[in-house]
Amino acid sequence: MGGPGDPPEGTPEGVPTGGEDEYRSVVFDESFVRAARLQEFSARERMADHAPAVRRRPALQRGLSRQALILVLLIALAFGTAIYMGVRHPYQTPVAQPPEPLRMTVIPLAPQTAVPGSTSTDGLYAHSPAAQFRVGAEGINLPASRRTTHFSDSQVVTALTTAKDYLVESSLDPEVLTGGATRPVRILLDPQQLDQFDQSIDRPTADGRHAPTGWLVRFDSTRAQLADKKIRVQGTLQATEFDSNTLEVTTDHTFVYALRPTGSDAKAQASLFTVRRELQFRFNRDDLRMHQAELVVSYVQAGPLACSEDSVSRLRPLLAGQTAKAGGPAGTDPYATGGATALCGSLATSAQPKL
């Protein structure tokens, strides 16, 4: 007799004994059955006319796993944070302060004796304090630049280079010197200073704010012309950090021009005219990017000039052989350090060529 679990007639022939089923390896668990796309109708359902034996089950809606859902949320959060930080970041961009109006002082220096002259401009330079000065832009040397706390090396170099360009255009360009051009200087200024510059050029006023000679060197072309385009120059530039958003460049240069009377030929005597310019520039980050400058202080000593002449709109030099009453009790040397304080000074004899 068979065991309690065996068929009444015993195990059929060909079926493995010991309770082993040849289909035991095929396991239809609950999840497999639920996932089946075809489902057999019940007997009651198949009694209906023309009812098929099976029906197609709707596809199961499989959701994201918890890990995938968390990953998607993290990516969305990071993306949203990046967009927010790009639009509204906690570090507010500093608001650029409007540049100060240029404060300028132009001091004419009157000769104490007749102005020395010579037909040789080389001889004039050789016998003057400008004998060792370099020619033109070569005399405006950039110092070794170092980064500051808030500005890089390249930004400091940009500030120094822009200041040099301003000096070159406003002190050495022959078109500017004769009063025929202002644009080379104007394009180097911060746009917010252009109204003051334009008013100075169009309506000069001796108010310490609107003198063309405070912005640039300009001679009265009806009186004098360049006898030699090789202008002698010597001076210094220095860059410092004014504040965390502003660089400051201070320049101190002496320019020496050889001049002759307008319309004269090379046989006419020439004389030297000296202009010392102490300028102070400031640069915010927009100025550095645009290669522009804010000129905030201009201190000028120029001679030989007559104190009675108007030096606001144009410089009217005293030329070879001309004289003027001294403008002060002591001579002012534009080659020396330190500044004059009088509205008109006398030009030291040591500043003139010794012929």
The predicted-structure confidence for 104-125, as pLDDT tens digits, reads as follows 999 999 998 999 999 999 999 9
DSSP 138: G
pTM above threshold 0.75: no
- Does residue 151 carry a pLDDT above 50? yes
Residue with tokens 């940009």, as numbered in its chain: 158
| Structural contact between residues 230 and 139, judged by C-beta atoms closer than 8 angstroms | no
The pLDDT value given to residue 79: 81
Residue with tokens 């930004």, as numbered in its chain: 155
Other Cβ atoms within 10 Å of 305 Cβ, number: 26
> From CA 35, how far away is CA 25, in angstroms rounded?
19
Q: What is the pLDDT of residues 170-225, one digit of tens each?
A: 999 999 999 889 999 999 999 999 999 999 999 999 999 999 999 999 999 999 99
* DSSP per position, 296-313: EEEEEEEES--TTS--SS
The pLDDT value given to residue 110: 93
The pLDDT value given to residue 75: 87
> Closest Cα to residue 239, out of 137, 159, 321?
159
- Long-range (24+ apart) CB contacts under 8 A made by 320-324 are 320/115, 320/116, 320/117, 320/118, 320/269, 320/270, 320/271, 321/114, 321/115, 321/117, 321/269, 322/114, 322/115, 323/111, 323/113, 323/114, 323/115, 324/110, 324/111
> From CA 90, how far away is CA 180, in angstroms rounded?
50
110 phi-psi bin (left φ>0, alpha ψ -120 to 50, beta other): beta
> From CA 332, how far away is CA 322, in angstroms rounded?
19
> From CA 100, how far away is CA 269, in angstroms rounded?
43
- At residue 89 the predicted structure's pLDDT band, cuts being 50, 70 and 90, is very low
The pLDDT value given to residue 255: 98
> From CA 225, how far away is CA 227, in angstroms rounded?
6
| Structural contact between residues 272 and 228, judged by C-beta atoms closer than 8 angstroms | no
